[in-house]
Amino acid sequence: MPELQALIFDVDGTLADTERDGHRIAFNLAFADAGLDWDWTVDIYEDLLTVTGGKERMKFFLDKYKPEFDEPEDLTSYIADMHKAKTAHYTKLLSNGAIPLRPGVERLLNEAREKGLRLAISTTTTPANVEALLVHTLGKESMDWFEVIAAGDIVPAKKPAPDIYDWALDKMNLKAENCIAFEDSRNGVLSSLGANLKTIITINDYTKDHDFTGAAIVLDQYGEPDSPFNVLEGDAHGFDYMNIDMVKALHSM
């Protein structure tokens, strides 16, 4: 049986519920800065989330929702500039404490570190966003808890492609069989399964109806000792909140 050596976490939707009240708001603020009346409502954003990557998502929005938009000559840099403004808004929101970590995340990370497991991040979001979330929830030193932070444009093919997980595994010099991934979305689980990683899912409002075929388990949250998770799919092996013993049990399945 391969030994569990590392936990690899997605960020958006997994470590924290960042999309609806974080990224979405920041996109809208950047549009307003640019004098655009585009409004990414909670409902429209659900559709937009089918595309990972903020720049890619803006392009998809233009194509689908604003076909009449008079595109600037260099659309790629127009979008890149607006995305920079979005990142500035997003990191500022986080620095004001707008988004907490999800239940059980801090406890699970601490237990993993105490037990000598290696940690990594594999995400589509911009590196500055990962740093802002970690620093403003767990403190500056938490940046060092993660041996590898695989993020953003580091690989050209974003999730659902497996590339970002493959990149992290390669950097850590680990085989997929010695790791487990933590995700929240269909695109995320396609990416982690594509890299041959067993995957633990916690859903959120935007992903609760996604197809998680192939996941080791689907939960509503990691839970805490005094506030158990609900199992949506799979076998919790008798546990009622996520801890390292449960992660090991799921990994050995």
Token pair of 241, please?
């909140």
Residue ranges in 77-96 that form contacts with ligand XBP under rule CB under 6 A? 86
Using the minimum distance from each CB to Mg ion, give the nearer residue, 166 or 184.
184
Total Cβ atoms within 10 A of residue 252? 12
Q: Look at residues 164, 102, 171 and name the one whose alpha carbon lies nearest to residue 138.
A: 102
Q: Look at residues 202, 206, 235, 205 and name the one whose alpha carbon lies nearest to residue 219.
A: 202
**185 forms part of the interface with ligand XBP (CB under 6 A):** yes
Using the minimum distance from each CB to ligand XBP, give the nearer residue, 18 or 243.
18
Of the candidate spans 51-59, 126-134, 178-186, 224-232, the one that interacts with Mg ion by CB under 5 A turns out to be 178-186
Of the candidate spans 5-13, 132-140, 141-149, 194-202, the one that interacts with ligand XBP by CB under 6 A turns out to be 5-13
**187 forms part of the interface with ligand XBP (CB under 6 A):** yes
Residue nearest ligand XBP, CB atom distance: 54
Using the minimum distance from each CB to ligand XBP, give the nearer residue, 13 or 223.
13
240 is catalytic: no
Using the minimum distance from each CB to Mg ion, give the nearer residue, 163 or 184.
184
10 is catalytic: yes
**19 forms part of the interface with Mg ion (CB under 5 A):** no
**166 forms part of the interface with Mg ion (CB under 5 A):** no
Q: How far is CA 138 from the centre of its chain?
A: 16
The number of residues that bind ligand XBP (CB under 6 A) is 19
Contact partners, residue 96, CB within 8 Å, separation at least 6:
none
For 99-127, b/e burial (b = at least 16 CB within 10 A) is: bebbbbbbbbbebbeeeebbbbbbbbbbb
**188 forms part of the interface with Mg ion (CB under 5 A):** yes
The mark string for 11-30 relative to ligand XBP (x by CB under 6 A, - otherwise) is: xxx-----x---x-------
The mark string for 36-75 relative to ligand XBP (x by CB under 6 A, - otherwise) is: ----------------xxx---------------------
Using the minimum distance from each CB to ligand XBP, give the nearer residue, 78 or 228.
78
Residue nearest Mg ion, CB atom distance: 13
* Residues that bind ligand XBP in the complex, under the rule CB under 6 A: 10-13, 19, 23, 52-54, 86, 123-126, 129, 159, 185, 187-188
* Residues that bind Mg ion in the complex, under the rule CB under 5 A: 10, 12-13, 184-185, 188
Residues taking part in catalysis: 10, 12
